[in-house]
């Protein structure tokens, strides 16, 4: 029995010795490229986590709502889940376009998909404007037209959205606070 255990240990060590270079060669072929994200996408990545705000937009006065940000795809994208777990849940995906500029596609409860592109930025503010909207039934349909994120500090930011199709309406601003664990 003792010889069988020793023989098994020798075989395992031999296999590890032979297979180790193959495993490292395979992982080298699939290494993650360096993160060359724009400063704006880096800023969006800093939002990773859960945030809270209050809103009366769904019929309840000052309803507490949440938004979650998750960095994904080896740091090349950020998924924003707006109002997760509610009937109004929406998804936005932030990424750098082919020119290295921040872009975003928003999957809206209005059943359309606005794509926004970076318009301007500074260390405290990112403004994006609509480049196109897929899924509209008519040119008069309402959709997101512009969004500005204003970063107050690492635990507070505000988001202001203007509508396309309802430009005469006042923009909607929500103030977010990071949820601490």
What gap in Å lies between CA 32 and CA 96, rounded to an integer?
A: 17
Digit-coded pLDDT (tens) for 79-100: 999 999 988 999 999 999 999 9
Say which residues have a Cβ less than 8 Å from residue 111's Cβ, sequence separation at least 6: 135
Digit-coded pLDDT (tens) for 116-167: 999 999 999 999 999 998 888 877 777 888 999 999 999 999 999 988 766 6
What gap in Å lies between CA 71 and CA 121, rounded to an integer?
A: 21
Q: Which domains does the chain have, with CATH numbers?
A: 39-178 (2.40.128.20)
Alpha carbon separation from 180 to 49, 73, 106 (Å, rounded): 9, 25, 26
Alpha carbon separation from 172 to 5, 58, 75, 177 (Å, rounded): 71, 13, 29, 17
pTM for this model (two decimals) = 0.80
Mean pLDDT of 19-30: 56
Say which residues have a Cβ less than 8 Å from residue 1's Cβ, sequence separation at least 6: none
User: Is the pLDDT score of 5 beyond 70?
Assistant: no
Average pLDDT, the chain: 85
* 8 Å CB contact between 47 and 69: yes
């Amino acid at each position: 029995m003792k010889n069988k255990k020793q023989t098994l240990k020798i075989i395992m060590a031999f296999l590890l010795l032979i297979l180790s270079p193959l495993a490292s060669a395979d992982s080298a072929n699939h290494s993650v490229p360096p993160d060359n994200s724009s400063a704006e996408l880096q800023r969006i990545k800093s939002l990773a986590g859960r945030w809270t705000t209050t809103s009366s937009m769904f019929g309840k006065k000052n309803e507490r709502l949440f938004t979650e940000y998750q960095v994904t795809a080896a740091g090349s994208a950020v998924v924003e889940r707006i109002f997760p777990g509610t009937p109004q849940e929406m998804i936005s995906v932030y990424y750098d376009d082919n020119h290295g500029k921040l872009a975003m596609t928003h999957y809206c409860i209005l059943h359309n998909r606005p794509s926004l592109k970076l318009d301007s930025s500074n260390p405290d503010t990112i403004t994006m404007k609509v480049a196109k909207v897929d899924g509209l039934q008519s040119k008069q349909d309402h959709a997101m037209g512009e969004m500005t994120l204003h970063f107050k500090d690492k635990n507070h930011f505000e988001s202001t959205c203007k509508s396309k199709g309802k430009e005469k309406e006042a923009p909607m601003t929500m103030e977010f606070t990071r949820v601490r664990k």
